[in-house]
A and B are shown apart, each in its own frame.
Chain A
Amino acid sequence: MSQTVIRSQGLGKKFVITHRQPREGDLFVDLLMSRARSALRALAGRKSKDEPAGRYEEFWALRDIDFEIRAGELVSIIGHNGAGKTTLLKVLSRITEPTEGRVEIFGRVNSLLEVGTGFHPELTGRENIFLNGAILGMTRAEMRRKFDEIVDFAGVEKFIDTPVKRYSTGMYVRLAFSVAAHLEAEILVVDEVLAVGDAEFQSRCLNRMSEVASSGRTVLFVSHNFAAVTALTKRAIVLNSGRVTFDGPVTDALAHYTASLGKVETKRKWDRGSNSSLLAADLLDAEGRPTDRYVPGTPLRLRVELETTGLPGLSLEVVLRDRHNIPIGYYASNNFSQVLLPAEAGRYECILSLDSYQLAAGEYGIDLMISVPNIMVDHEVDNAVRFSVDTCSPNGIPFNFTQELGFGNQAMQLSAPLRFKPIAPSPEAT
């Protein structure tokens, strides 16, 4: 077992929240007036009415956090908004001090809580690279060595001597991330920073992150992007209201986290879009009756009821999601089969007959959307249909392939028999 690099024992972080009463205007003058009033009352020996005892409230952003991280481990931290993820990262990167407990760190921590920290709009791209690098803890020599790589990665060669305030948002973010991506550290602490730039750039970022991850560094990673979490890390710590509720393999952690979100209910009452509305949807069994069970290997058939004002160009779209709410399949009637909603106002029903899939056992959800492709989404219903797969045993194998295994959600099928052909004799045979 490798060496421990971070050990947290009984870590807690308390904030004191002041509940300020709304004042007239909230001006400095008002503040002074009220301070003066309470000062006068204090002088007169009376207890101030402005400051009742309950004005301050303690709030534990983190409590009793115990964990240990070993060298070379890739750990993600997941949890709802406000669960304490960022506070934990801030404590680990020494930005803020714990209130109780202790953390021991062996090695140097470099933290990346945001991209482009300290970027100054008046300075040029070149100057900002050095500034930002120094802030993130890189040395000048290191920066100079990596400069070309950074510029190249960001793709801003032409504008490197232009003040960054003239940059487009995309260029700015790309430059900022490039510097961050070239940060070298023994222990890297990364907050949700992948959610920047266009899709192409994001995938480059993910690749870069996995490079960093595979180079043997210890990485702590906070993200809401489950796909990134599962792709990059093996272990996850789930935080809930400042406490660790799960610590273990990433797939189990995601399951635990999703479970903590509460069972996702199929919404029965759907609101309406401005030009069209989805009214009802069901999964159909082989006989065409509504069901909540899907049998792997049979066509996936949906019945959708909808209404339209006859606006031309509307497309029906479907997103299939697995138990972690990660999208795993997509269909768009316009893009995939050049079918649009009828151009005449009215109510319609359609049967969407999709291919058959060897879906792994477990829960699934389907989102439905009516949209004008690439322009706007007119009506969207998340989790319009929920269904589950009981068993997935393609070709009658004595084995149930489930989502919980962590190998994805489709049992892949052979299109031709699998055979092994000898290409060289075995070494022992010669």
Chain B
Amino acid sequence: MSVAEQQPKLHLVLEAGRADQRYWTDLWRYRELYFILAWRDVAVRYKQTVIGAAWAFIRPFLTMVVFTVLFGHLAKLAHDSAVPYAIVVFAGLLPWTLFSSVLSDVSNSVIANSHLISKVYFPRLIVPLATVVVALIDFAVTLVILAGLMLFYGFLPGWQILLLPIFVLLALLASLGPALWAASLIVKYRDFRFIIPFALQFGLYVSPVGFSSSVVPEQWRSLYSLNPVVGIIDGFRWSIIGGASPIYWPGFLVSLGVMAFFLWLGIRTFRRTERGFADLV
């Protein structure tokens, strides 16, 4: 009847530094906890706000307006393509918002859930992964704004739009790497609580959000792509706008490489430190 009785007898050995072979199957076994934690974060997010989920619309929309005016009209960064500048900006803002909200929420997720971590066992990866869902839902809302924007300008995307899910996944992986790394370090060094928002603020201006990465001189583009967000944003723009914003492939591959490195580093650091989380939080 109970969970306990359905499962065959487990044999578990607890030892210092012992790698848990069952970790990834455990992660699967705790999927219900994953869903319920994700649901909790979503359910709680706009509780006790007057306009509720409308905030998910208002924030990205206003940012888009500000950016269009700031970069497009004042800084004259608008290039003379057929694509409305608002869409160019929004196509960059979309992945950036996803990246930055995943990075900031996930890096804080472990300490935000310290009361759970010090009282119950579960594969700790569940906490940061559940946090991603909130960012994804906000992202879905901004996609609706994008659709509205396209309708408003009468802009029809090409076949490339079908590849958008792949770039969404890449954006998630790109942010998850550094986020997991920060989440594991933040447990011991709370300094990262201050570093992350600062880095994100900085990142907004060094990433091609308000402008196209084609403004960067050709010889510097691979170097510029060391910022993994560059590749992601380029990919998004390409898939949304199509041929008007071609992907710079060498740079894209560099971004992918950096991304893979951070993902590996993030997961490794997290797995190495998670056993000590309960002693530190």
Contacts and interface: CB of A to CB of B under 8 A. Distances in A.
Contacts of A120: 40, 44
Contact of A122 (B44, B115, B117): B44
A91 B14 contact: yes
A103 B44 CA distance: 39
B10 interface: yes
Given A96-B279, A113-B119, A108 B3 contact: yes
Given A94-B121, A127-B43, A134-B32, A107 B9 contact: yes
Interface in A104-150: 104-111, 113-114, 117-118, 120, 122-123, 127, 130-131, 134-140, 142
10 contacts: A96-B279, A97-B16, A102-B13, A105-B13, A106-B9, A107-B9, A113-B119, A122-B44, A134-B33, A142-B2
Given A90-B278, A122-B47, A98 B4 contact: no
A35 B47 CA distance: 41
A105 B14 contact: yes
Interface of A: 15, 28, 90-111, 113-114, 117-118, 120, 122-123, 127, 130-131, 134-140, 142, 184-186
B276 A117 contact: no
Top 5 A-B pairs, shortest CB-CB distance: A184-B2, A94-B121, A134-B36, A103-B14, A105-B12
Contacts of A90: 278
Contacts of A99: 16
Contacts of B32: 134, 139-140
Interface in B146-201: 194
Contacts of B40: 120, 123, 127, 131
Given A117-B116, A118-B116, A135-B116, A108 B7 contact: yes
A95 B2 contact: no
A127 B115 CA distance: 18
Residue with the greatest number of chain B CB neighbours at <10 A, chosen from A94, A111, A130 = A94
B15 interface: yes
B59 interface: no
Contact of A102 (B14, B47, B117): B14
A221 B10 CA distance: 22
A108 B14 contact: no
B74 interface: no
A108 B30 CA distance: 13
B28 to A, nearest CB: 13
B51 interface: no
A15 B118 CA distance: 15
Contacts of B11: 104-106
Contacts of B122: 135
A409 B249 CA distance: 86
B36 A131 contact: yes
Interface string B1-35: 11111010111111111000000000000001100
B195 to A, nearest CB: 12
Contacts of A118: 115-116, 120
Contacts of B116: 117-118, 135
Given A118-B115, A122-B44, A122-B48, A102 B15 contact: yes
Given A97-B17, A111-B120, A113-B119, 7 more contacts: A94-B14, A95-B120, A96-B275, A105-B13, A111-B121, A134-B36, A184-B4
Interface in B99-138: 115-122
A98 B120 contact: no
A351 to B, nearest CB: 53
Contacts of B194: 28
A145 to B, nearest CB: 8
A138 B279 contact: no
A122 B4 CA distance: 31
A90 B121 CA distance: 9
A108 B16 CA distance: 20
Contact of B278 (A95, A137, A139): A95
B30 to A, nearest CB: 8
B120 A136 contact: yes
Interface in B230-245: none
Contacts of B275: 96-97
B13 A104 contact: yes
A270 to B, nearest CB: 42
Contacts of B279: 15, 96
A110 B43 CA distance: 27
A118 B115 CA distance: 7
Given A96-B279, A97-B16, A185-B4, A114 B119 contact: yes
Contacts of B115: 117-118
A91 B275 CA distance: 11
B2 A98 contact: no
A123 B43 contact: yes
Contacts of A108: 3-4, 7, 10
Contact of A100 (B10, B16, B48): B16
Contact of B119 (A95, A131, A138): A95
Contacts of B44: 120, 122-123
Nearest to A103: B14
B125 to A, nearest CB: 14
A103 B13 contact: yes
A107 B15 contact: no
Contact of B121 (A93, A98, A103, A186): A93
Nearest to B13: A104
Nearest to A93: B121
A28 B189 CA distance: 12
Nearest to B2: A184
Residue with the greatest number of chain A CB neighbours at <10 A, chosen from B120, B194, B275, B279 = B120
Contacts of A105: 10-14
Contacts of B118: 95
Contacts of B14: 91-92, 94, 97-98, 102-105
Nearest to A100: B16
Nearest to B116: A118
A56 B7 CA distance: 44
Nearest to A163: B47
